[in-house]
A and B are shown apart, each in its own frame.
Chain A
Amino acid sequence: MSTEQAGPLPAPAPAVNPETREFWAATAEGRLLLKRCLDCGSVIWYPRAICPECSSLRTEWFAASGRGRVYSYTVNHRGEGAYRDAAPFVLAYVELDEGPRMMTNIVEADPTGLAVGMPVEVTFHDTGDDSALPRFRPS
């Protein structure tokens, strides 16, 4: 995994709070963390203090593989807000090898060559605010 400049896509900074500080700090170092429930073993997404499967408050961070497959994607031709001038860009759900499906962008790929099920790997785009956005590229 590595951290690099965003290229043409904007990389707006996420709002960070005490519950998610460790996640975002790791992204700035090019690491994708997930949470695991210490009681039922469920991999939790998005990261939170409670396990939504079994209600346990005992969770731990662990390093994700950074690999997954495209669950769904769209080439958006009408960006809004920070993305107003970014179109066309690819919004997607990637199903991580660990199970969760996370919203993200697919980058470094020809949008016309994308497919559901395509294998992808994480890459990080620096927000300039001590965090980086986990995006995915074909692997």
Chain B
Amino acid sequence: MTIRGKAHIAGAYEHPDRKIPDKSVAQVHAEVALGALADAGLSLSDVDAYFCAGDAPGFGALSMADYLGLKRLRYTDSTETGGSSYLAHAGHAAAAIAQGKCRIALITLAGLPRSQRPHRASASQLAPEAAFEQPFGPTTVSMYALAARRHMHEYGTTSAQLAAIKVAASQHAQHNPHAMLPTPVTVEEVLDSPMISDPLHRLDCCVISDGGGALVVVAPEVASELPRQTVKVLGHGESPKLAANGRIDLTHTGAVWSGPRAFEEAGVTQGDIDYVSIYDSFTITVLQTIEDLGFCAKGKGGAFVADGSLLAPHGSLPFNTDGGGLCNNHPANRGGMTKVIEAVRQLRGEANGPVQVPDCEIALAHGNGGSLGTRSHAATLILGREDA
């Protein structure tokens, strides 16, 4: 059974704020829920399926479902795969809708890492691997730096090539009035920014922002009755990529497995993709993902991105036209939700004018959760314009 065309994204909403000092996390979940439902022309009372991940406060999906007053739920899913969760949720929602388990699914994300003190999840300290990693002082940046170093060693990738990814994102962000970092930067500025964990500089890293986002996924018969243009779910694939009994390979992501699954289900190939949202926690995340999804040969990502390929609207693979996590927004330290939202904007023709891809018919959104340096999870979603 395939989900191709059996579910539509009818609503998408990104919280406009990047610093939210005076609200609770649950409150921001509610704001983005209402925003996405309003975008779809629906209300909370229509929702019969609810999806959220580890950023949602409380017990799985139950606390937020109770908070929101969702009274008609017959399907919940609190799959937690970090930043890729929301792409997985969209795929799971489409599958549940295709099977008749529900008709109107709400997916929410929110977090306030910029305003609230970061807290270390106690669950991660209880993980079986924790004693063999945490005592050595790994940080999020340093684990991606390990991946970048190894990729450089094996393929000759350079810091200037990685910087080209940030440069392209910044070119796009200047057209986004909500972007946290709207000023274009140069390769030299990236290389001159402080070294955080070498070879990654500060400007190789995504922003830390408050915020959130939400999606509404509906059955085709619901979509056909809504006033707004919807987006068709064409394919979905996901895969964990694990530390593999200590034989971890730091040069690729789980996209090598999630990508082919999504392409097969969608019945399209790389050449059919008009726009991509690629999770950009760090520049190296984008580089490895582009290779792993087959947009260029393995190890050739550096030359590919340095050639201006990622620039919208006319590059060969326009990416992250909202500025991405590198420049726009990285709510709850999880970039998957905003990746889907910008892909929906592109397919509706509602991206910011200068970066709208002409005649954008098929888009790919990709999320990566966890850490490239240890265990990660990849989720790929392929979406089509309503008439695709």
How many residue pairs between the two chains, A and B, have CB atoms under 8 Å in the bound complex? 121
What 0/1 readout, one digit per residue, does chain B (132-166) give for beta carbons within 8 Å of chain A? Answer: 11111111011101110110010000000000000
User: Contact partner of B196 among A14, A71, A77, A83, CB < 8 A?
Assistant: A77
Are A46 and B146 in contact, with the CB atoms below 8 A? Answer: no
User: Contact partner of A52 among B132, B195, B245, CB < 8 A?
Assistant: B245
Are A99 and B246 in contact, with the CB atoms below 8 A? Answer: yes
B51 vs chain A, min Cβ distance (A): 30
Query: A74 and B145 in contact (CB under 8 A), knowing A99-B247, A101-B246?
Result: yes
Interface bin, chain B = 35 or more
Kindly report which residue of chain A lies nearest to residue B244, judged by CB atoms. A52
Are A102 and B132 in contact, with the CB atoms below 8 A? Answer: yes
Residue B297 at the chain A interface, CB threshold 8 Å: no
Residue of B149, B200, B246 with most chain A CB atoms under a 10 A cut-off: B246
Provide the residues of chain A in CB contact with B226, threshold 8 Å.
Answer: none
Are B132 and A103 in contact, with the CB atoms below 8 A? Answer: yes
Provide the residues of chain A in CB contact with B250, threshold 8 Å.
Answer: 71-72, 93
Q: A16-B131, A102-B246 are in contact. List 20 more A-B contacts (CB 8 A).
A: A11-B135, A14-B132, A14-B135, A43-B246, A44-B245, A45-B246, A46-B129, A46-B132, A48-B128, A75-B198, A76-B142, A76-B196, A77-B194, A78-B139, A78-B141, A80-B139, A83-B137, A86-B137, A93-B146, A116-B150
Q: Which residues of B contact A (CB under 8 A)?
A: 120, 125-126, 128-139, 141-143, 145-147, 149-150, 153, 194-200, 245-248, 250, 374
Q: Which residues of A contact B (CB under 8 A)?
A: 10-17, 19-20, 24, 42-48, 52-53, 71-83, 86, 89, 91-93, 99-105, 116-117, 127, 133, 135
